[in-house]
Copies of this chain bind each other. A is one copy, B any other.
Amino acid sequence: MNQIGLVGRLVREVELKKIGEDRVVINNTLAVAKRSKKENGPQADFIPIVAWGNVAKLMQLYCEKGHMIGVTGRIQSRSYINKEEETIFTVEMVVEEVYFLQNKKAEPITG
């Protein structure tokens, strides 16, 4: 059982990448305001997110850097080898549903 839901702001410009012939993916990071903030401490958590296929296409169409969105999905772990040939372990959220909570770039899908 694996379920996660976040509301936060996109930290970087939304960039749709092609993988092979027919797959598309977006990697970004969500700044999620902390519930209990300590003075001089961080005000947000920065959670890496990844979206595939139609979810990624919707995000590219409707989202910009700084937009507030809601996302539901699951958390996953993954290892990869970086340019320095080190094995990096990473934890990120896979977005299965996205909810557009403001309308700067276009009309929101949901409210």
- The reply to whether A2 and B9 contact each other, CB–CB distance below 8 Å, is no
Please encode chain A, from 7 to 49, with 1 for each CB lying within 8 Å of some chain B CB and 0 for all others: 1110000000000000000000000111100000000011110
Name A's interface SS.
strand
In the complex, are the beta carbons of A7 and B99 less than 8 A apart? yes
B9 pairs with A1, CB closer than 8 A: no
Please report A residues at the B interface, Cβ cutoff 8 Å: 1-9, 32-35, 45-48, 68, 70, 72, 74-77, 90-93, 97, 99, 101, 110-111
How many subunits of this chain does the assembly comprise? Answer: 4
Minimum CB–CB distance from A52 to chain B (whole Å) comes to: 13
- A1 and B32 in contact (CB under 8 A), knowing A6-B75, A7-B101, A47-B77? yes
